[in-house]
Amino acid sequence: MVFAAELVHGFLIKRYKRFLADVKLDTGETVVAHCTNSGSMKSSIETGAEVYLSPVAAPARKTLFTWEMIKINGNWVGINTANPNKLAFEAISEGKIHGLTGYTKVVREVTFGDSRFDIYAENVTEKCFVEVKNVTMKEGNYALFPDAVTIRGQKHLNTLVEVKAAGMRAVMLYVIQRMDVDVFGPAVDIDPDYSEMLRKAAESGVEIIAMQAKVTPDNIEFVRKLPVQL
């Protein structure tokens, strides 16, 4: 996934009201950027850290920048929650994720029951629903999700189980936007209900895939699958 416009470099002053961040640009100007990440951003936020913002060509919007990434311990961490969906859609469409290839139709935002899933793919032999989650939190060498209690995430897991029970393929795809981890797992201490539901979903046949992505100011690309430890 290539960024549509050149990113703007700066340093994080503070994040507040969940969706806003003050950033000091290299020019010395302080701007307000939109933070798409509604979670706690635990282990992914540090005052004074380098950040990159994308300019927004929408004069009517209150914030003219979107916060894309932050450098933590020398590693870029992608915090824009919209990017994993774009990256996954491109990769599945182009057959770049092992095990998610061979689809002749790949579309975004498709409803099943009372849930809307990020990606739907099909070919002559199967139909597949994919839910994509952005992962930024780490503990040791583990990438963990979620970083805050997620009722919406729990609902998606339940519906994926229903998809599988209906005879279709159900995939929970975690996109880890940082390179300083080696294993993916649920954040049991933060949302034990989600963690238990994830294990039960896997037992019901929902496929759990964790893809690690390298984030740079130029692009974001998948580099490998990570082992999943539930």
Q: Is the pLDDT of residue 60 over 80?
A: no
pLDDT of 115 higher than 90: no
Q: What is the CATH number of domain 8-78?
A: 2.40.50.580
Q: Is 80 exceeded by the pLDDT of residue 61?
A: no
- Residue 62 scores a pLDDT above 90: no
Spatial neighbors of 27 by CB under 8 A, at least 6 apart, are none
pTM for the predicted model, two decimal places:
0.95
Q: Is the pLDDT of residue 57 over 90?
A: no
Beta bridge pairs of residue 143? 138, 184
> Boundaries of CATH 3.40.1350.60 in the chain?
83-226
Side-chain-side CA neighbours of 55 within 13 Å: the count stands at: 8
Q: Topology of 83-226 in CATH?
A: Trna Endonuclease; Chain: A, domain 1 (3.40.1350)
Tens-digit pLDDT profile for residues 153-166: 999 999 999 999 99
Tens of pLDDT, residue by residue over 195-215, are 999 999 999 999 999 999 999
pLDDT digits (tens, 9 = 90+) for 129-145: 999 999 999 999 999 99
At residue 187, the pLDDT reads 97
